[in-house]
Amino acid sequence: MADDIPFDKNLALTPDTVDEVAPGVRRVMANNPGPFTFKGTMSYIVGRGKVAIIDPGPDDPAHVAALLDAVRSETVTHIFVTHTHRDHSPATPAVKHATGAIVYAEGPHRAARPLHIGEHNPLDSSGDRDFVPDVRLKDGDVVKGDGWTIEAVATPGHTANHMAYALKEQNLLFAGDHVMGWATSIVAPPDGAMSDYMASLQKLAKRGEELYLPGHGPAIRDAKRFVNYYILHRKAREASILHRLGKSESDIPSIVRAIYIGIDPRLTGAAGMSTLAHLEDLVARGLVETDGAPSIEGTYRLAA
């Protein structure tokens, strides 16, 4: 089912080298490949001379050194962070320390909802809880630099504090982990929330930037069409879950086995969390029932 989205898994990029991806936009990929990061996290450099860095990346001295080397004869005035996963924000203090740049983001790491009684957060280790921006951005805030203008586009869902950034001069969006060119984004409760995620996708579909530069993977050149594929994909996932529950009540492992055919075994945990995210949303909308709060161990049935 994932192949209904026109993913592009070609990315010939050497880690920690500079590459101009769009006019006036450079990228440096961290050397942190993996099942969730593809070939690595992308740090972007916006402008020339007085520049902004978007997502300094993981806590990796080699990546920080490569990023600083890329802007060696320039001044970094701004750092923007899309969200506080450990592959995106932990290098921020080192880059700030070296450059004196001001750090902009939506806010510190937080969950999309409080924990239920007895629930532990399986995502605890993936969040960068030390991150604090200098300036907190709200949706629609505009930050002007030397030759570039960035608009904050609140896109909660992957995390509660996820911000995409529109580069106004170029009809281009730094999409973070909200939309990626190589795979679907992970939405895992309690840090992520499917209702927020879907609303953020609909919002991006209406905006209509043509080029997305994501946190992982290649640039997305036909972004409007791509976002619509993403929306259809999620709706199809939801329909599959409802179809499965139409046969009998079920738990999450059984639903995952039924609807994620041929999944990378390293991703079954994430698929379970993503299914939980859909089920939370379906329970909130009154379409599905469970006993107590929706949980990863719960049994789910269609609402009577």
Query: Which residues would be at the binding site for Zn ion (CB under 5 A)?
Result: 85, 177
Q: Between residues 26 and 85, which has the closer beta carbon with respect to Zn ion?
A: 85
Q: Between residues 39 and 85, which has the closer beta carbon with respect to Zn ion?
A: 85
| Dist CA 223 CA 259 (whole Å) | 26
CB of 108 to Zn ion, least distance (A): 15
User: Who's near 3: CB < 8 A, 6+ residues apart?
Assistant: none
Q: Between residues 191 and 290, which has the closer beta carbon with respect to Zn ion?
A: 191
DSSP, collapsed to helix, strand or coil, labels residue 304 as: coil
User: Strands 288-290, 149-154: parallel, antiparallel or unpaired by DSSP?
Assistant: unpaired
User: What is the total residue count of the chain?
Assistant: 304
B/e letters for 198-222, b = 16+ CB within 10 Å, e = fewer, are bebbeebbeeebebbbbbbbbbbee
CB of 185 to Zn ion, least distance (A): 8
CB of 37 to Zn ion, least distance (A): 9
Q: Between residues 22 and 183, which has the closer beta carbon with respect to Zn ion?
A: 183
Q: Between residues 57 and 218, which has the closer beta carbon with respect to Zn ion?
A: 57
CB of 270 to Zn ion, least distance (A): 11
Q: Please give the helix or strand (H or E) that residue 7 lies within, else none.
A: none
Q: Please give the helix or strand (H or E) that residue 37 lies within, else none.
A: none
| Dist CA 224 CA 172 (whole Å) | 11
Q: Which amino acid is at 67?
A: L
CB of 213 to Zn ion, least distance (A): 15
